[in-house]
Amino acid sequence: MDPILWTPWRMPYLRGEGGKPSGCVFCNKVDADDDVEYVVARSEYVFVTLNAYPYNNGHLLIVPYAHVPSVEDLPPEALLDLMQTLNKSIAALRRVYNPQAFNVGANIGEAAGAGIAAHFHVHVVPRWGADTNFMTVTAGTRVIPDLLDNTYRELRAAWDAPIAAPDE
């Protein structure tokens, strides 16, 4: 029997149900219900949300409330808040998933690969040794073993715990 990849949560997307939201997807989250939009945490200048199409479990996005296309458009206070929130994001991901490493980055501009070029944001991706498998290599498909609902619940619970230095 051939292996079966069962991904029923993708069916609404495949059917085009719900349609594409109007406006900026990040700006739409600013005043939305956190539980509906998977907003893990909010601070004065930025918020943290789950990536709807994650590379790995726990793939977070740190998004400024300001709708600006580049990091250099943010005031110093927002930059400080963004970096402190990045630190809290990494700490929460360590508590929940115990990753071995992280990719942290931003694609600034469409030519750099930004899917939402008009609203600057930072990706935080937990990584483990050999976390790419045959599905990515042969089928161009990523295997995410947990639901966004579970990821959201666990990261929200871990968010406010004290930050500890990683074990080296």
Domain ranges of the chain: 21-158
Domain 21-158 in CATH 3.30.428.10: yes
Is residue 122 within 8 A of residue 87, CB to CB? The reply is no
Q: Please state the rounded mean pLDDT for residues 72-95.
A: 97
Note the pLDDT tens digit of each residue in 96-144.
999 999 999 999 999 999 989 999 999 999 998 877 654 454 455 566 6
Note the pLDDT tens digit of each residue in 12-70.
666 777 666 789 999 999 999 999 999 999 999 999 999 988 888 899 999 999 999 99
Residue tagged active-site, from 59, 67, 121, 123: 121
Number of H helices, E strands in the chain: 6, 5
Output the pLDDT for position 131. Answer: 74
Q: Which amino acid is residue 113, in one-letter code? A: G
Residue 121 catalytic? yes
Output the pLDDT for position 3. Answer: 56
CA angle centred on 60, ends 72 and 152, rounded to 5°: 145
Please check the confidence at residue 91 and state whether its pLDDT lies above 70. Answer: yes
Question: Alpha helix locations (H) across the chain?
Answer: 11-15, 25-30, 34-37, 76-97, 134-139, 148-158
